[in-house]
Chain A
C-alpha cells in the first residue's frame, strides 16, 4: 500500500509538470489551431539560460524570475519573427517550421552547452518537509509551483481586461478586431505566456532528470498525451490530463510494465485517445458540416 501511495504522489509531481506543458500547448492551439512541437525545446532552452545565470552566481529565485521574463520575450520574438510570416501558409508548412524550430533549438543548445548532463538545483530544502515521507521536498514544491502558476493564469484570463481580450482574440479574431483588439499582439502575448509556463516546467523537471538538450523530448510526449486526454481545446482538461498521465505513467512503470517501457505509455495513450475519442475526455466534439 505504501509503495502504491508513493508512486501516486510521485506521479502527481511529474504530472504537474506535464500539466503545465500541456496547458502551454493548449493555449497556443486555441489561438492558432497549431500544435507547437517546439514547446518542449523552448522550455529546455530557457532552462539552460537559468543554468547560465546561476552559473554566473545569481541566486535561485532571482534567476527563476529573470528566466520567466527571458522566456516570455523569447516566446513573443519567436511568434513575431518565425510564426507570423507563415500565418497563412498551409498546415504542413507550419508543421515544418515547428519541427525546424525544435531541431534548431536543440542543436544550438547542444553546440553552446554540449550534450553532457548537468545537475540543476532545486530551490527546495533537502530534508523532508513537515515530516512528510511519501514525497520529496522537490516534488511537493513542484506541485506547489505548478498550482500557483495555474491559479495565476486562471485569475489573469478570468478577471483582467487583457486576459479577456486574449480569449476573445483566440475565439473570434474578426470580431476582436472590430472592438479594437490588436489580435496579432494577443497571439504574440499568448506565445510569451506559453513560453513562460514552459520555462517553469523545465526548471521543475531539470532537478529530477538532469539538464540535457534532450530532456524535454519525453516530457513533451507526455504533455501531448495529457492535452489529448483532456481535449486539446480545453485548458482544464489538459491540466487534469497532465496529472492523470503522470500518475498512470508511474503506476504502470512501477507495477506493470517496468521503467524501460514507460515512455510507450504516452504513445499508447495518444493512439488510444485518437482512436476512441479524438476530442478527448473533456473536449468539445466538433461536427464539420458538409
Chain B
C-alpha cells in the first residue's frame, strides 16, 4: 500500500504557478527520490506536502487526506521535514535543537532512548551537545537537521537536498546512515536531490520533475538506464 499518494498537486507563490498538477506515490518502507534541475519545483513539492505553502490537489498520508491541514498537525501524524537550508535553531544548543524535534512526543523514556540512538549515529553531535547550533559546521548542521527529524520518530521523512554543501566523504557517510535508518527503523523517505547519481544509489524508485510536472517515473534501476536521464542528470 502506498504511504503517500499525491494527485494533481498544484502550488503557486503569489501569481507564479510553480507546480502544475503533480502525481506520484511513495510505497511504505521505501526510499523514493524526486529528481530535477534547480528550480524544477522539488523544494516547493516538499513544502506543499507539509502544508507550508498553499496547495490544490489531493495528498493522502496513510490513506487520510492531509492537504489543507496545518503544518503542526501534519507533523503530529509522523511526517518529519529536513528542510531546504537546514532550519537550524541557531541560538539554541545542539541538544535543545534535538529535544525540539521530539516536541510533540509524550513518551519521555522513548525520547531519551532516541536521543542516545541519534548520538550513536552522529557522535560529532554528542561532542557538541552543549554548543550553540549556529557554531556548527555546515555538515554538522545537516546531521543535526536529519537528527532533529529522527527525534520525531517519524513514519515518513522528507529530505530536501541533504547532500547540499557537504564534502563527498561526509555525504557518503550521511547516505549510509540514511540507508541504515530506512532498513532498521522502517522509516520511509522522500528524498529530493539535484545530485541524481547519488539519489539513485540510495533510492528504490524515483520521479523526474521538470518545471512543476512529473516527466518520468520508474524504479531507480530503470531511471539509471534511461538515456535522457543519463545525458541530462548523470552526465555520461
Task: List the interface of chain A (C-beta within 8 A of B).
Answer: 161, 164-165, 167-168, 171-172, 174-183
- What's the A-B contact tally at a CB cutoff of 8 Å? 61
Q: Is the beta-carbon distance between B103 and A161 smaller than 8 angstroms?
A: yes
Number of residues of chain B lying within 8 A (CB) of chain A: 23
B114 close to chain A: CB less than 8 A: no
When distances are taken between beta carbons in the complex, the residues of chain A under 8 Å from B80 are 178
Q: Is the beta-carbon distance between B52 and A180 smaller than 8 angstroms?
A: no
Q: Is the beta-carbon distance between A180 and B76 smaller than 8 angstroms?
A: yes
Q: Is the beta-carbon distance between B104 and A164 smaller than 8 angstroms?
A: no
B72 close to chain A: CB less than 8 A: yes
A175 to B83, CA, bound (A): 8
* Contact A180 to B89, CB < 8 A, known contacts A164-B99, A165-B103, A168-B100: no
When distances are taken between beta carbons in the complex, the residues of chain A under 8 Å from B91 are 167, 171
Closest 8 CB pairs of A and B: A175-B87, A180-B104, A180-B75, A177-B71, A178-B81, A179-B100, A179-B103, A180-B72
B212 close to chain A: CB less than 8 A: no
Task: List the interface of chain B (C-beta within 8 A of A).
Answer: 50, 52, 71-72, 75-76, 80-81, 83, 87-92, 96, 99-101, 103-104, 148, 152
Write the nearest CB–CB distance from A182 to chain B, whole angstroms: 5
State which of A161, A168, A182 has its C-beta within 8 Å of the C-beta of B92.
Answer: A168
A181 to B89, CA, bound (A): 13
Q: Is the beta-carbon distance between B71 and A178 smaller than 8 angstroms?
A: yes
Of chain B, the residue at the smallest CB distance from A172 is: B89
Q: Is the beta-carbon distance between A181 and B52 smaller than 8 angstroms?
A: no
A168 to B152, CA, bound (A): 16
A172 to B90, CA, bound (A): 9
State which of A164, A165, A172, A179 has its C-beta within 8 Å of the C-beta of B75.
Answer: A179
A14 to B75, CA, bound (A): 46
State which of A161, A171, A182, A183 has its C-beta within 8 Å of the C-beta of B89.
Answer: A171
Q: Is the beta-carbon distance between B92 and A171 smaller than 8 angstroms?
A: yes
Q: Is the beta-carbon distance between B83 and A181 smaller than 8 angstroms?
A: no
Question: Which of A161, A165, A180, A181 has its CB near the most chain B CB atoms (within 10 A)?
Answer: A180
Name 22 interchain pairs, CB-CB below 8 A, sorted by A: A161-B103, A164-B92, A164-B99, A165-B103, A167-B91, A168-B100, A172-B90, A174-B83, A175-B87, A175-B89, A176-B100, A177-B52, A177-B71, A177-B72, A178-B83, A179-B103, A179-B148, A180-B75, A180-B103, A181-B72, A182-B72, A183-B72
